[in-house]
Amino acid sequence: MTNKVKEMWKANKPVVNGWLAIPSAFSAEMYAQCGWDSVTVDMQHGVQDYLSCVACFQGMQPHGVTPMVRVPWLEPGIIGKVLDAGAYGVICPMVNTAEEARALVQYSKYPPKGTRSNGPIRAGAYGSSGNYQKTANDEILVIPMIETQTALDNLEAILDVPGIDGIYIGPSDLGFSLGMEPKLDREEPEIMAIYKRLLKETKKRGIAAGLHNGTAAYANKMIKMGFKLVTISNEVGLMQVAAKAAVIEARGKK
C-alpha cells in the first residue's frame, strides 16, 4: 500500500480534501470523481456509521482518491475498525494533551509501535497476504484535531509525540473554545495568529497542518499561507450552495 497524501506531503504539495456526511456509496462514488486528492468520511458530525463508511470506501476505491475517516472520538474500537475497513488516515477530534495524542498513535499502529489488533478484513485486500501489516505503520496517517484552548496550551507536547503525521484544525470548535462564534473561514487577528503559530511549529517538526474551510476561495488562501491539507465544506454544503444558486438563477433573480 502507498499513501498518496503522504507522498504529496513529502513533495511539499498541498492536498485538497473532500468530506462526506451522506451515508451513500453512490454519492461517494460520484464525489470521488471530482478531482479530490483525498476524501474523508465524517463519522463525528456526518450522518455516517461503520457500514456506510465501508460503502463509501467501496464507492470511492476505483477513482484513485485516498480514503480517510474522521472518527467520532478518541476510542480504540472505532479507530481499529475504520483502519481495518481501509482508511489510510485517521483524523481524531478533540485531542487536547500529549497523553491523548500518544493514545491515538497507539490505537492506530500495530505492535511494536502501537496496540492495534490484527484483522484488516478489508484493508488487507490491498496487498497479498501479510503485506498490509508490513507497511501499515508507515503508511497510515495519524492526525489529531487541534480545536481547543487546552490543545493550544499543550501544542508543542502534542506535536512532539512520535507517530503524529499532521494536525487538523477545527475552526468552529477552536473559536467556540476561545469565546467566539463557532464558524469556518475565520478572519479574527487572534485566530490568524494561532494559525501562524501552528504552521510554524508543524513546519519545524516536518509534519503537516490541515484546516477545514467553508469555501474554495478561503481554502486557496490557506494553501498560500502554508496549510498542506485543506477541506472545502462537505458534499452537503456544496450541494446546497449549488442548488440555491440554481433556483435563484432559474427565477431570474440575483
pLDDT at 173 over 60: yes
What confidence tens digit (pLDDT) does each residue in 178-197 have? Answer: 999 999 999 999 999 999 99
Poorest-pLDDT segment among 49-53, 61-65, 106-110, 129-133: 129-133
Q: What percent of the chain has pLDDT over 70?
A: 98
Q: Is 45 a catalytic residue?
A: yes
CB contact at 8 A, 198 and 156: no
CATH homologous superfamily of 4-250: Phosphoenolpyruvate-binding domains (3.20.20.60)
Mean pLDDT of the chain: 96
Instruction: Kindly state the cell numbers that stand for 218.
Output: 478561503
Question: Which residue in 4, 45, 113, 221 is the catalytic one?
Answer: 45
DSSP state of 3: -
Question: Quick check: 82 pLDDT over 90?
Answer: yes
User: Would you place residue 126 in the very low, low, confident or very high pLDDT band (cuts 50, 70, 90)?
Assistant: low
CB under 8 Å to 168, separation ≥6 — which residues? 91, 143, 144, 145, 146, 210, 211, 212, 229
Tens digit of each residue's pLDDT (9 = 90 or more) over 225-242: 999 999 999 999 999 999
Question: CA 42: distance to chain centroid?
Answer: 9
Between the two ends of the chain, the Cα-to-Cα distance in Å is 49
CA distances from 75 to 61, 78, 134, 226 (A): 26, 6, 24, 30
Burial 182-209 (b: 16+ CB within 10 A, else e): eebbbeeeebeebbeebbebbeeeebbb
Q: Report the alpha-carbon distance of residue 88 to residue 68 in Å, rounded.
A: 5
Please state the rounded mean pLDDT for residues 60-86.
97
